[in-house]
Chain A
Amino acid sequence: MKIYATYNIKGGVGKTTAAVNLAYLSAAEGHRTLLWDLDPQGAASFLFRIKPRVKGGGKALIRGTRTLEGAIKGTDFEHLDLLPADFTYRNMDLLLAGAKATSTIAGLLKPLAAEYDNVFLDCPPSISLVSENVMHAADVLLVPLIPTVLSVRTLDQLGDFVAGFNGRRPEVRAFFSMVDRRKRLHQDVTAKILAERSGVAATPIPALSLIERMSTERAPVTVFAPRSQAARAFRDLWAEVA
C-alpha cells in the first residue's frame, strides 16, 4: 500500500482538486484506492457527494473505538472509496496530542494495507500535529505550489522539516498549481524552479474555470471533462508522481 498526501500549509492552492483527481486516476487504472478527507471543511467528501460525517467523529477513529474500515464509503467509481470528513476533525490535533504523538494516523492505516493499493490523504491547511502525522504516514508528499517566491520558501521550509525526521522520511514531490500562463511572474518562477530544483514535477496544473466547475458538477474533472486540458494535466501529473 502506497500512501500519498496532498499537503500545503496554505489553503486554496489546489490540494483537494489534486487529491480527488489523482485518486480517481489511480482507481481508473485498476488500483484499489482510498481517499481520506482529513479536512473538516469536507470539500473532497462534497465533491464525491458523500455526507461529511463519521459515526463517533474523529475521536472514535483516533481512539480506536470505531475502525477506519467501518467508516469507509464507496464512491460512484469502481475501485475508489472515501473515508469522509467530519466536522470534529477540527479537534483532531487535541485528540492526537493524547495519543501516540506523530505515528497515530500511520498506525490507523496499517490494517487497510491488504485492502488498498493506494491511499490518498487530503490534509487540512496548517502546520499541526495532524499534518505531522500525515507526513510520517505518507510515502509521497504531494505539494501544490502556486508559482510565487513565497510559495517556494514554504517548500524549502517543508523540505527542512522532513529532513529532520528520524528514520523514515516521505519523498517530497512538489507540482505547480493554479498556473496562469498569461502571468509573466508565473512563467518566470516556474521556469526558474524547474531549472534549479529536482523533486518538482514538470507538469503544471493550470488555473482553469473548468477545474472550479468541479464544485458544481460534484465530480473529478477527469470524469466530467476527460478530454479537457485540465484532465490531461492531471493525467500527466499522475504519470509523473505515481
Chain B
Amino acid sequence: MTSDLRGFELDGEIGGSGQATGVAAVLDLLGQAFGVAADRAAPGRGASQHTWLDTFDWRLNRAGLVLDYERKSRGGRLLLSKDDVLQAEQPADGLRASRPRLAAHLPAGPVRDRIAKLASPRALLPVATASSTVSVTRLLNADGKTVARLIVDCATVTRAGQTVVLPARLAIAEVRGYPGPAHRAAQLMADAPGVTPARRSAFLDALHALGRHPADYSNGITAQITAQQPASVAVSTLLLGLLDTMERNVDGVLRDIDTEFLHDLRVAARRTRSAIKLLGDVLPDGLGGRYAAEFKWLGDLTTPVRDLDVHLLGFDSMTGQLVAASPADLEPFRAFLVRRRAREFRRLAAGLRSARFAALTEDWRRALADAQEGRAKRRGLTADDLAVDRTGRAFRKLTAHGAAITADSPPEALHDLRKRAKELRYVLEFFAPLHNPAIYRKVVGDLKQLQDCLGEFQDDHVQREEIHALADAMLAERAAPAATLLAMGEIAANLAIGQAQARAVFAERFAGFAGPEGQQRLSALLERPGP
C-alpha cells in the first residue's frame, strides 16, 4: 500500500454525533462504484494517541517541521514531517510525552539526529494531544481486488475537561499500480455532501481546537505599535508586551524545564529597564522611576543562575579546547557548578514565588494599563516622533563613547560601550514596525556584528573573573583537586586569548557600524517626509 493521501474532512456541521452518518454517506457513495469491505488488517488502523512536541519558542515549527509522538497499544514511535511528508521516524516505546525533555535525551534514532541541534538547548514540550481512531475500508474492483483504501480518522482533544470532537478526516490511499481507481474514489468523495478538502493538518486541527496557534510565543518584541499613536500609549503597549513575556516564562523557570525560560525572562526584564530609562519620561509622572529599582532587583535575582547556566551550557565546548589538561580534570568543576546552581536556583525560585515579585508584576500591569488609557504626559508627541528622537540620541551616544576608545582604554570602557549598543538595539527593536524594513535590517545587522565583538570581549572577561572566583570558592569548600585548578587555569588562559582577539577586531567593527556609511544609513532610517 502506498500512502498517496488525498485529504478531505467532514465539515463542522456534520462533526460530533453526526460524523458516523457522514462517514456512512461517503461509504454509500463509494459503494456505487466499488465493492467495499472493512480492512481489519490494515496498517495504521485502530486507536492511537498523538502528542505533538515542540520547543516553547516553536523552533521545529519555524523550521517547517512537525514532530508527532504516536502511541498505540503495541508501542510508540516518533514521526517527523515537513509539509505533511514524513522525513524520519523511529521507535520510542514508553516515552512519557507529557514530560518535557531535551531532544538530546530522546532515544537514539534518526528523528533525534535531525532535531537535536535545532532544538538545543530548549526542551521539547507537548503542544497538543489528540486521541484518534482510524478505520480503513478496502475499495474493490470487480475481481475483488483492493484497488484503493478509504481511511477515516476520528479524533478528539480534551480542553478544560471537555471532549472536543475534531472534524473527521478522510483520505483515499492509492494502491500501487492503480492510480485510476484512487482518483475516481477521490472525485466521488469530493462530491459527497459535507465533504470538503482538508483545510489544515491534523496537528493544526488539534491546536486550533485547543485555542492555540503555532508560534504563539516569541521572545522578540511582539507589541504592535503604530506611528501616529500617542508616545505614552506606544511605550505602555511595549512595556505590557514585555511584561507578558516575563510572566509567560515564570512557570518554565520554576519548573526548571530548560535554561532559556530564565534567559527570555531576563531579556524581557532588561528590555523593560532600558525602555524605562530611555523612554520612561513619556509615562505619567514618576512611574518609570518607581519601578526601575524593582526591575533591577529582578535582574539581580536572576543573574547568578544564568551565569552558572552559561558556564554549564558551554562546558563541553570549553573542555574541547583543552590542550594540556584532560576533560576529566574538569569534572569536579562541573560538579561544583551543578551544586552551586542548585543552591542558587532555590534562591531564585523563592524570589519568583515571593510577594514582592507578585506585587511587582500586578502593580506594574495595572499602572501600565492606566497609562495606556490616561492622558498623555506630552501631548502631541507621537510614537514615531519618539522613535526618531530616541534612536538618534542612542546612536549619537554610542558613537561618541566608541570614538573615545583607544588601544589603551581599559576594559570598562568597552563594557560601557556594550551597554550603549544594547540600548540602541532595544530602541531599534521597540520601534521596528515604524521603520523602513530593508534599512532597518541592515542597521541592525551591522550593530549586531559590533555587539557580537563587544559581547565576546566582555563575556570572556567576566567568565575569566568568575572562574577565578569559583576556584577560590572550590578551595574554600575543599572541592578543588590540583588537576582541576590547573585545567581551570587553562580555560581562563583560553578566555584571555578570546578576549584579546575580540579586542583586536573592535576598531574595524566599530568603524563598520558608526563610520560615515553607518551614519548615513541611520539618517536614512530616521528620515521622515516633511510636513
Contacts and interface: CB of A to CB of B under 8 A. Distances in A.
Contacts of A72: 176-177
A81 B146 CA distance: 12
Nearest to A51: B143
A240 interface: no
B146 to A, nearest CB: 4
A50 interface: yes
Interface string B377-401: 0000000000000000000000000
B17 interface: no
B177 A74 contact: yes
Interface in A64-121: 71-74, 76-78, 81
Contacts of A50: 145
A213 interface: no
Contacts of A71: 177
Interface string B342-384: 0000000000000000000000000000000000000000000
Nearest to B42: A78
A54 to B, nearest CB: 10
B176 A76 contact: no
Interface in B120-151: 138, 143-146
Contact of B177 (A73, A77, A218): A73
Interface in B143-196: 143-146, 175-178
A74 B144 contact: no
B301 to A, nearest CB: 56
A49 interface: yes
Nearest to A83: B177
Interface residues of B, number: 14
Interface string A207-222: 0000000000010000
A56 to B, nearest CB: 14
Contacts of A77: 41
B1 A74 contact: yes
B1 A218 contact: no
Contacts of B145: 48-50, 76
Contacts of B43: 78
B2 interface: yes
B143 A81 contact: no
Given A49-B145, A76-B145, 7 more contacts: A49-B143, A73-B175, A73-B177, A74-B2, A76-B146, A77-B41, A78-B43
Interface of B: 1-2, 41-43, 138, 143-146, 175-178
Those 4 A-B pairs whose CB atoms lie nearest each other, nearest first = A73-B177, A74-B176, A49-B145, A74-B175
